[in-house]
Amino acid sequence: MSATEVARALDLSRVTVRRYLEHLVTTKQAVKQPRHGTPGRPEYEYRWA
């Protein structure tokens, strides 16, 4: 899921969610990869490692 999708599901700020997701990536608990095929700004998809 993207940070935006997680934020909507949990009713939290996208920025706050992104910070937590980045922490999970840093601690190798999650994996981040670019989501292709969407117009506009690049979006990253996060998933459990």
Domain count for the chain, please give it. Answer: 1
pLDDT at 5: 96
Sequence-distant (≥ 6) Cβ neighbours of residue 7 within 8 angstroms: 13, 14, 16, 17
User: What pLDDT was estimated at residue 6?
Assistant: 97
Give how far the C-alpha of residue 28 lies from the chain's centroid of Cα atoms, to the nearest Å: 14
Of the chain, the end-to-end C-alpha distance in Å amounts to: 13
> Domain range spanning residue 12?
3-48
State residue 3's pLDDT score.
95
Tally of CA atoms within 13 A in the half-sphere of 11 that contains its CB: 0
2-48 pLDDT, tens digit each: 999 999 999 999 999 999 999 999 999 999 999 887 678 889 999 99
